[in-house]
Amino acid sequence: MLQRQLESVWGALVPGPIVAGLVYMDLSFSQWRALMVLGLVASTTMLFHRRLRHYVLLPSGIVFASGLALVMLNTGMG
């Protein structure tokens, strides 16, 4: 039962440290946008791949966390 709960959480826990590392790289606005577009395209292509479909939360989670980080950095909260 615990293993099943952990399987559903990995898509939310893995992108956090990845985006935290990207924040410290001091990317420009256009680089953030390119990263987000790449993640969205990867998510879309992963939906149609039979084996990669199970990992679709990883790029979409990175895109979501990147969007939140971009908003925080541009509004002066970060």
Q: Give residue 55's Cα distance to chain centre.
A: 12
Percent of the chain exceeding pLDDT 70 equals 81
* Residue boundaries of the structural domains of the chain: 2-74
pLDDT of residue 2: 47
User: Are the beta carbons of 58 and 42 closer than 8 angstroms?
Assistant: no
pLDDT digits (tens, 9 = 90+) for 28-64: 888 888 988 998 899 899 889 888 877 877 888 888 8
Mean pLDDT across 8-37: 81
Higher pLDDT, 39 or 6: 39
Residue tagged 């990867």 (tokens): 42
Percent of the chain exceeding pLDDT 90 equals 4
Q: Give the predicted TM-score (pTM) of the model.
A: 0.70
